[in-house]
Structure 1
């Protein structure tokens, strides 16, 4: 049966992947609610924007009154909450925006959802029984792993290290509290590092691709031996939709790609792919790896993240379709084929102003 999904942050990297997957692969209606801050880009949704089942609302989740209006107007069956400030370096330089969006914004959205759901129970018990509030979070809330064989599970204690991860941990706690106290039907997912098409160029993988193509330095924090589990964004989108539609209320599901890689390994793999796909380099560059430079490590930088995704596989039957090798090749090929998209992000024309590349 067709449902109405309210996707917050639907113009962002992961949110736009969810919107595209819902429009392409289901008959559901999608309401994309996004404030269009620097990382929100409607050009990432050009392929689905003309669908009769797609609607865009520009609004800030921190505006509680506006959220109530949106719920009343669109009557969603499922909320997928992805709107968030998510860049660790930005959170270190200016944590206030992260507190406001990730904590206060989540509170305002929860309250709008709670009142909507409460009224729904009185007017449409069947629709109320099917309502879901799915909160999308990060593995960074768990902090650092100690042993080389340790994995984050759904019961790992929280130990956030950055203002970003602390704000996401706070929002996770709010969602669980609204479920426990008010009975709001919530689900939480915590994912590993995403990568893939339409990724904002300040993040590691697109930054390295675009810097290499321009003959710029490839800055690697510290010794580059920090380990992350990499998840192809379209695999993540499929997992999120499965959790939102089939997951158990009040449960948490960890979503990982089964791809633990050191940061330096990721950068060198990208360089090797570019050697194959773009052998003609900028002037003066013999090998892309020659562009790698080691820079002062980030304050409070976690050394290793790794997800145990056994629960979502066991209970919901989800496994990633892409390996790191296939996903990374698709990602590099996408950036090579979509220069107009990332150039408009780099020069700011996608939002009518000039921005840096984040390098």
Structure 2
């Protein structure tokens, strides 16, 4: 199998299939929706209304073959009814409260959405009387991060200092429990989790995220305000993990016994950049701009060092990153440079450029 996920592979697997996406109005979910739309899948999205204007979901507009349900994954009965009515072949669970700093403001809601919401999604899948493969997306922050520079692998201890990270570690325990109890291969239901984070790309306007903050500043001619410039992260363009999720679901559908487990998706070991490196690459790509450090000792804790070991995804899924971190930053910033009226077209152009024919 090729290490690069191809468009032919996606089209062969997903054309005419029914795919249920939670969180399709969010940044990563909207990109996934766009990829699957191009591949010819029938899609039902289930999510809250978009949180901010001019995000990718609104920019793309209504897409043929996509049914959008605006509802909360904490609404257990509604979620189950929508799932049963659609009868999906695949489920991608991305709906979440995804921000570390916001989790300090709403810790209980963060756990409710990310943990109980995940259980609701998986319980709804259990009600299906047909084969269905599920990829539940968590984060790279699920590990007990001691910030030593070690590359975390899937068998390492789960943890989480902040409510967001801890809630996603709890979600991994929920996923493991459902997998062991209700998603055995004999049930024709496969369940895997995907751990990726620090995902960047066009169409994200969330607050307290470095690329949206950088793009807003560059577009308005303001100095970019940067927290923790020496922090190191596994930056990756959004299409990198999405290709991994899509291949994982394909293989899970073929052999749930082998692929029903957790997988890390991230950059190559030598390709981890600091926040300072990211911002300076963004400024160079833009052609102008400046930044300043606004770090504060009183700010909520955020990990200063995080690296993932992607060996298992490379060896078992034959998946490997295509773009290095600097290319990922350039791809993201080039999206934000586009006129608003061209951003939808440019999104599909980037998808076609990323996935070889």
Equivalent position of 2:350 in the other structure: none
2:118 maps to what in 1? 106
Q: C-alpha displacement at 1:325, in angstroms?
A: 2.2
The alignment status of 1:97 with 2:98, answered yes or no, reads no
Equivalent position of 2:68 in the other structure: 56
Match of 2:264 among 254, 263, 267: 254
In structure 2, the partner of 1:189 is 194
Maintained 8 Å contact 1:232/1:257 = no
Q: Compute the TM-score of the two structures, normalised by the length of structure 1.
A: 0.81
> What does the per-residue CA deviation read over 1:176-209, in whole Å, with 9 as the maximum and x for residues that have no partner?
1011122353101101310011112421112012
The offset of 1:46, in angstroms, is 4.8
The correspondence for 2:222, drawn from 197, 216, 219, is 216
* Corresponding position of 1:38: 51
Contact (CA 8 Å) 1:85, 1:98: kept in 2 or not?
yes
3-state DSSP class of the match of 1:31? strand
Q: Which structure ranks higher in relative contact order (CA pairs < 8 Å, sequence separation ≥ 6)?
A: 2
Supply the distance in 1 between the matched residues of 2:304 and 2:215 (Cα, whole angstroms): 23
Q: How does 1:247-286 map to 2 (within 5 A)?
A: 247=252, 248-258=258-268, 259-274=271-286, 276=287, 279=288
TM-score by length of 2: 0.82
Tell me the equivalent position of 2:178. Answer: 178
Question: Which structure has the bigger radius of gyration?
Answer: 1
CA pair 78-251 structure 1, distance change in 2 beyond 3 A: same
Q: Distance in 1 between matches of 2:161 and 2:215?
A: 28
The alpha-carbon deviation at position 47 of structure 1 amounts to: 4.1
Give unmatched runs, 5+ long, in structure 1.
Answer: 121-126, 280-287, 343-359
Deviation string for 1:233-288 (max 9, x for gaps)?
012211111111114443111000223011111112222222x2xx5xxxxxxxx2
1:188 is paired with a residue whose SS is strand
> C-alpha deviations, 1:104-154, integer Å up to 9, x for none?
2112112111122xxx1xxxxxx42xx112110101111424433x10111
Deviation at 1:81, TM superposition (A): 0.3
Quote the offset at 1:3 in angstroms.
1.8
Give the 3-state SS of the residue equivalent to 2:234 in structure 1.
Answer: strand
Gaps of 5+ in 2: 1-12, 185-189, 253-257, 344-357
Matched, 1:6 2:11: no
**How many residues were matched structurally?**
315
* Shift in alpha-carbon separation, 1:3–1:339, aligned structure 2, 3 A: closer
The 8 Å contact of residues 263 and 313 in structure 2, kept in 1 or not, is answered as yes
Q: Is the 8 A contact 2:73 2:113 kept in 1?
A: yes
Decide whether the 8 Å contact of 2:25 with 2:50 is kept in 1.
no
> Does the Cα contact within 8 Å between 1:145 and 1:303 map onto a contact in 2?
no
Residue 321 in structure 1 maps to residue 326 in structure 2 = no
> Aligned partners of 2:328, 2:338: CA distance in 1, in Å?
15
Which residue, 229, 233, 238 being the options, matches 2:243? 238
Instruction: Give the Cα separation in 2 of the matches to 1:265 and 1:197.
Output: 19
